[in-house]
Structure 1
């Protein structure tokens, strides 16, 4: 099926609304209504349920507010990426230097987006059984996808804020829901992902929709980030046992190019098109006066890689092909981006190979949310935390390294649990550079604050492993307790 047709089947559909126009005359104009939907019945039709489901996907996907979700929140506080230039520099600096507070607008925006997605998923779950004309197997898949989306939303919220209020229906809304306890939140999230996985298909006809592997993959990541090691090892093994995923075997330089985005390494993805939910990373990665195509845009805001990080790669690592080390600009000036005195200041990650058919800032490169490489490294890390270094854990670890063309590690290289843990953290940084995973990896291993302090972020405090609940939310809900350390 044509990729554009596939994606456009998931557009956010809005219910028709009849508008009354008021003129300067003393009477209303009478409008003839040709079509009108009854909200009570619309949500019980296949068309209505599809609209609700698509709206839920729309706000859950990473390409919605990609800049904030992947980079502002999850890369800039870490030790690999930084930003300078453009009108975005002031906002980015807040997150690089740990000077954010509860009134920061990006936090409020992402909170609202996730809860809009949750509301839509809840609406579908509240109404799907009323669609008497739909076969039960169709309704079962609707339920499974809605539960997956809702669980993913809550997992992403948890990464940012810790436990949050669990709103699970639109039928009876509380205006002051309390935050779930860690035990309540864990039970709910695990139950939702498992229930979704049991009813989701192994593959989907439409690219980007939830699958069994996607549900288990996100659950496995949650287990790892919540340090539930045995559960993380087990569920990532379930993903492996599906035997439908494998490491990308093509030219690693082009793994994230549009032409290769539907490859067997992708467990779950956030689709992008130049015309809808475009990938906006590359306009931030192009250095000053870079020779872009006429249909591309180059922002003043510059997303950079710390040169000190790039220098930690093995010289033969194929993943170095993801980086731009130099270029000749539009004026013919040659730039060496490893030279901090150069106008470009730092190396850029070109992992998301520029889309030849991009439209302005929007490129069509999909954003992988879970890759098979992560499944392998997740299980390897979990096995190490359970029993220390083992041959199985090392084999999983080396599979990712082998694809990158770098030497295997041996058991002599990992004499202790701590040594293996350190190597995993390093490998994940090399493999998932610019994929929005660094903050959680550092938190899980107790390294976020120490590494921030080491690079000069003096305001990095232990409590800032979580962001503050937006002040607009705590003001509106007196039962919503703020995270410790924030006013």
Structure 2
């Protein structure tokens, strides 16, 4: 395992609710607990460095969200450009432990954990920090650490559990599944107790954010009662609701909406942006002069696009035809003869007029309120079978999209409603990196890939521990199925 180190840069892209700005960036060559613990400012600088590593924006978002969460599913694929070879490994289920994306995800997650641990190691010496403020900072650090572990767990399963930045053994075994699960749950519960309901800056942890990460963790662990209860607790906070116009939900001008529970803030500046649209604009699309089109193209499967009802407002976020700069109208979803083209595009992230080149300012949602409603609907169905409440929750999502409401009488079994909720989650969250985990939970990830002609194996529900880490730590076991 890569050793935790004491050198770091404390910088974080967090944005104010009224306008976009950077927090002050402070570059450190070595931290001194005796110094940063003397003030709120010192503690916040360390905490900001933890947030910076937790956030997945720019090219990291492309790798972690799209390669890990979308291209290996029945919703989205990629072709063209220099990125095609990298994406193909995930489309075809041919990834391996030497893929550098896994190195990056692992290192970034453990840096967030390390930087959180630095603050937590020194909380008792922070006598100059007011008790109330210290309590909140500690809760934020616990949130970041737990969220980072939940992120790593989603991809790799249990990993080494490190809860201090002091005297770390360079060779550590992986935690048991039970220990890692208990740690993530306990930390998020504790953080939720002490976090405020609102923060001045987007991207910082709140009570709702901690409960939302916890709710989704319960969901993916199939802890149905706990998931349903956590979702209900979030609803009872009365902080969140569905944004009215779903096709404008992801536009820059609407990112202060109360559907977003936790986000990765973005700026239209090099290295800090949402780069998805540069991969989405098709060749010859009439873009603004300050934007760019990449050769690497993110595309939607025709079967997925066809799953929407014609009147579904979410179809407004999908480009199925356009007139290019030569005046030619291009069909994207099906040819004139009805052939599936698998080439429609997700315009969910409405292009930012002020974006610079590939970088746009659209915040990237991690969890939004729609996810919580559908999580509770799914959990209730798994516990009790179809009920009016679970159907009503689904209909909140469909009603917002102006899609037809479903009726309880049409779902005679748990399995029938489960399949509908799975399909509804695809329609609601395409391009947000959730499809892989949803398919895994439904037991359809591997079988679905095989149906698409991929040589997917059962053990590929987890990604491999990076080979670099296996070689550096002789006690670190590789996931089943991958080269030992």
Above 0.5 in TM-score? yes
Residue correspondence of structure 1 range 332-347 to structure 2 within 5 A: 332-339=327-334, 346-347=343-344
**Alignment partner of 1:442 is 2:449:** no
Residues 132-183 of structure 1, C-alpha deviation per residue, up to 9 Å, x if partnerless?
1110011111100000000110001011000111111012211111111111
Q: 1:12 to 1:482 in 2, by over 3 A?
A: farther
Q: Secondary structure at the match of 1:303?
A: strand
Q: Which residue of 1 aligns with 2:372?
A: 375
**Alignment partner of 1:415 is 2:412:** yes
State which of 286, 295, 304 in structure 1 corresponds to 2:281: 286
Q: In 2, distance between residues paired with 1:271 and 1:399?
A: 27
State the 1:6 CA deviation. 5.8
State which of 151, 155, 160 in structure 2 corresponds to 1:156: 151
Checking the alignment, whether the CA contact within 8 Å between 1:214 and 1:268 is kept in structure 2 is yes
Q: In 1, distance between residues paired with 2:426 and 2:16?
A: 35
Q: 1:2 to 1:443 in 2, by over 3 A?
A: closer
**Alignment partner of 1:394 is 2:391:** yes
Q: How many residues align?
A: 465
Q: Which runs of 5+ in 1 are unaligned?
A: 18-36
Q: In 2, distance between residues paired with 1:407 and 1:345?
A: 25
Superposed structure 1 runs of 4+ greater than 4 Å apart = 1-7
Residues 302-345 of structure 1, C-alpha deviation per residue, up to 9 Å, x if partnerless?
00000111011111111000011111112222211123699x96
Checking the alignment, whether the CA contact within 8 Å between 1:13 and 1:55 is kept in structure 2 is no
The TM-score with structure 1 as length reference comes to 0.92
Checking the alignment, whether the CA contact within 8 Å between 2:267 and 2:359 is kept in structure 1 is yes
**Alignment partner of 1:363 is 2:360:** yes
State the 1:451 CA deviation. 0.8
**Alignment partner of 1:220 is 2:220:** no
Q: Secondary structure at the match of 2:202?
A: coil
Q: Which residue of 2 aligns with 1:460?
A: 456
State which of 49, 62, 77 in structure 1 corresponds to 2:72: 77
Q: Secondary structure at the match of 2:365?
A: strand
Q: Which residue of 2 aligns with 1:14?
A: 27
Aligned residues: CA RMSD? 1.8
Q: Secondary structure at the match of 1:269?
A: strand
The TM-score with structure 2 as length reference comes to 0.93
Q: 1:38 to 1:386 in 2, by over 3 A?
A: closer
**Alignment partner of 1:256 is 2:253:** no
Residues 15-55 of structure 1, C-alpha deviation per residue, up to 9 Å, x if partnerless?
168xxxxxxxxxxxxxxxxxxx8564234433322221111
Q: Which runs of 5+ in 2 are unaligned?
A: 1-14
Q: In 1, distance between residues paired with 2:25 and 2:68?
A: 26
Q: In 2, distance between residues paired with 1:330 and 1:48?
A: 52
State which of 52, 55, 62 in structure 2 corresponds to 1:58: 52
Structure 1 range deviating more: 57-66 or 399-408: 57-66
State the 1:7 CA deviation. 4.2
**Alignment partner of 1:192 is 2:206:** no
